[in-house]
Amino acid sequence: MLKCLLEIKKKLDHDEQYYYLNKLYIDDYCIWIQTHAKDRTLRNLAHELHKLKVQKEETGFPLADLEKLAEEHKDDFEMMEE
């Protein structure tokens, strides 16, 4: 779990807006995992996250619109790769 959080932290650190998410959340979770989290707690958390099903509409992002837009411009992206 710590490895995943550190990967997220690395990606967010390079963006001015998302940098603050690291300071507000990710940094504290990394510290908590290293200092206070017990194996049982992490197993329970992993179990609960495994059961979690998030719908696109629940994210607060216009994912359906973005998917539609990406599909409409799919050919443009394929030409860029060539």
16-64 residue pLDDT tens: 888 888 889 999 999 999 999 999 999 998 999 999 999 988 988 899 9
Answer positive or negative: Cα dihedral of 70, 72, 78, 80: negative
DSSP for residue 24: I
In this structure, are residues 22 and 12 in contact, taking their beta carbons and an 8 Å threshold? yes
The DSSP string of 41-75 is HHHHHHHHHHH----GGGGSS-HHHHHHHHHHTHH
Has this prediction a pTM greater than 0.85? no
Categorize the per-residue pLDDT at 15 as very low, low, confident or very high, splitting at 50, 70 and 90. Answer: confident
